[in-house]
Structure 1
């Protein structure tokens, strides 16, 4: 006669399951498991927390199950579990809502830049766009200040055009996520024009320049200024990213032999970044001081940028 095998102890039941059903909850979170286990231990009931699916399990001896469930019910009545707040991923900071507007506006600008091409085979209306809108320090010092704006809308060749549109579109999108599409265009155009005016005393009379790269670096500087004001003392490493990006790109464009460097308006790039930073920081500070954080001003600023460019060309064609 063989001895009977020893009886295996019955598994500990999950005391949390019936209470969760009564509360309409699907799982026991780690925080709830910790609180409920402390409640049971305070009542002298042994318990174990185990990973279940889904959520956690709160195991108790079979002989103490009813007592444990009663204790948990009483605790849940006095301390109802708080609902979990999930982050809304549809907020502007997590979406690319500005991307369609940036693409459409860049498409319009690209068409205009193509019509004002350097070669008449690329340009339109057989008009001397460069002669009327080219940046010229001597003529600007004599009062033709509209050239500070019109020169931003000209380019030397297709490669110049593609480079400015591609790089400028990236910075414009990042800036639009901060201040809105209209605000981004206004900061880029206004700061770019100011940069062209600011460099007049530093260039030789008769120095000529063209291209949207000054406005591109103005957008990058404005992005740095806006983020600096908005972040304040927080996230110090993130504040330096726009500065580092600007310096890296400026250093890259400055590499080359002497003949290549003459083709690049480095002073315009540096002044564009500087004026963009100052204007962006001032605009962000004004938004914070006045409480205008809902971008209501952005469409009007975009209209102002368009009027600025159209008005400058209107004067240039009549002059």
Structure 2
């Protein structure tokens, strides 16, 4: 191995000094060609300090370049790299500098938690999310307490009047009243014995139909000269032809708009008909009419759907007497 020791000392610590010193050995060709140093077999090239004890640069026979004093040199702030193709030294590229970083080490244990920072300002409210699907219906809860009773509703429409019940049995005949005073003497002939009187003194309730309902008069009957009453005591038959005075009276416990009349042979007779314009509970009628034998008479309420209740005592009266 050959050692260069004649170069100036201020150039021994750099590669540039080596090149310049080597060039001075071949001063005849310094500007004509590169300096070439041929290493002996198994030997290397070494640059040492002036005392020859400290090796500064060494090139091995296998091409390895050593800088033995480099670890003791002050640290520098830049990296030096070489080009793999040409062997040129220079600044490292960003990629090379990044490659010099070692693999990421294992994550260290988490440090103790820091103090809680101050609460930040409330952020703006986000948009309302979509409504989720309805959940399953829960079990039925217990029945609550009964609520207070509500006010009474309006009165419903009156129902259809039921059929008239059977006529009750005739009551016992009352005691005869005191004899009235004798009337004035008549101007005509003898009074006819063909006459009748019938009453309803039981305070009966009559179901009234629009077409008419007969009023039974089974009490205090006095039928003379052949007058007849049917089984319900609501139709009376005239025995002989003649002129008759017919009068009736009916009284109810409450005022209604029911009408009243006496039918002759099933037909209304205007003089014996009363159609009130306002509610009433008193009905009266009287006239003289010619009747033939077999004619029928019957007193009725009609003209409404409802019921009326007769007064007790003389609640309903029908009197028919032959005039001549």
TM-score bin, normalised by smaller chain: under 0.3
TM-score, normalised by the number of residues in structure 2: 0.20
Q: Pick the structure with greater CA Rg.
A: 2
Bigger helix share: 1
Bigger strand share: 2
TM-score, normalised by the number of residues in structure 1: 0.20
